[in-house]
Amino acid sequence: MRLPVRCLEIACADRSRSEMERIGVDPAGARIMAPKQLHYNLKVEGLTPAQANILKQDILSIGGEAAVARGVASCSVERTDAIVSGTMAHFLALFEKLARQAFGLPEIAASMKEAIKGMDQRTYVVKGGAESFTIGPSTLIMGILNVTPDSFSDGGAFVDRGKAAARGLEMAEEGARWIDVGGESTRPGAKPICAEDELKRVLPVVEALSKAGLTVSIDTTKAAVAKAALEAGASIINDVSALTADDAMADVAAASGAPVILMHRRGTPETMQLDTRYADLMGEVYGWLHGRVEFAVSRGIDRDSIIVDPGLGFGKSMEGNLEILGRLKEFKSLGRPVLVGASRKSFIGRITGGADAGQRLSGTLAASVAAVMNGASILRVHDVKEAKDAALVADAIVNHR
């Protein structure tokens, strides 16, 4: 007779200890064994052969594993990535070993430690100049308010400032904690507009919503628009170019202390969907966001003021968007809250057959739940009430787990 055997999902130390308690393990023993049941695979990029050889020797000596390029032992390669695998117990021992090594390995150990910490983090304090925000463990809902005539999903619906302000207030009542006001379309193929036209669209709406007590983010790539919107009451900068479109944007963000959302995209709205091929999608998107975070910090932006967004639909194919959603938790290694904007996007329509953006609600909710289950802290959505309900259920599952 076969005995029942199942694979346990050990996602945290609390789950490990509770499972051991169920079979009567001594509590002291459970505390010792819990770190041995949490397994991690860390990819460390750009190591020298000396660093890689020492790292591999140290992790192997304590029972872990490390995969490096074939030429590392002979030093026939200049650089190598490494995939380091082990339990939490292995990594705790490894960090102690690396702290005594040369070749910059103590700093590498610190980065590895931060990556593991980020993977397990559910609550963040995001620093702001006028206001700081606690994000998590419940998902934050960010309502999309496009005051543009050519938005892909609701083009022209909220060009009138009165209608736009009313929609912002409605989204807040439905559960949006932030309202994201944008005056320039970033849909595929969209052409840029000048700062003056963008300001005419967004400033009256930002002023109205902020005076009503709502938290407003300004969706712009232009430093002049961001600065004026902040002065009009906005609290957050959402820059889909991650500070690359306007070099002055970093100075505006640093001077204001406002939280800044850094999103990955390749190209501009006019060009980003012309080539969606990547040799290593996750590696390139993660590495680019890591670089933008470090750039922002170098320009005086507080690391704790940064939010990251992998940029679904911005220079990605349908398959690429799905890969990012499935592997979203890897972005938590950056140590910052992850924002996901899947709402009504075309890849959802390709899957469900919803040719029009308005027909993609159910698909959007499925993608949103997947995002929350895989580590998203913020959902940027058009349909606030429905997304809020879906996130409440996903949060209940994640937090219970």
Count CB neighbours of 270 within 10 A: 12
Residues 123, 306: Cα–Cα separation, whole Å: 14
β-bridge partners, 380: 142
* Annotated catalytic residue, options 336, 345, 360, 388: 345
Spatial contact of 161 and 204, defined as CB atoms under 8 Å apart: yes
DSSP assignment of 332-389, as one string? GGGSS-BEE--TT-HHHHHHH---SGGG-HHHHHHHHHHHHHTT-SEEEES-HHHHHH
Is 277 one of the annotated active-site residues of the chain?
no
Q: Which two tokens stand for residue 144?
A: 């999309």
β-bridge partners, 217: 180, 236
Spatial contact of 368 and 391, defined as CB atoms under 8 Å apart: yes
* Annotated catalytic residue, options 177, 222, 227, 380: 380
Spatial contact of 84 and 66, defined as CB atoms under 8 Å apart: yes
Closest CA to 150 of 181, 187, 117: 187
Counting Cα atoms < 13 Å in the Cβ hemisphere of 60 gives: 9
Q: Which two tokens stand for residue 229?
A: 């919107």
β-bridge partners, 181: 145, 218
Is 43 one of the annotated active-site residues of the chain?
no
Closest CA to 367 of 394, 400, 385: 394
Q: Which residues are catalytic?
A: 345, 380
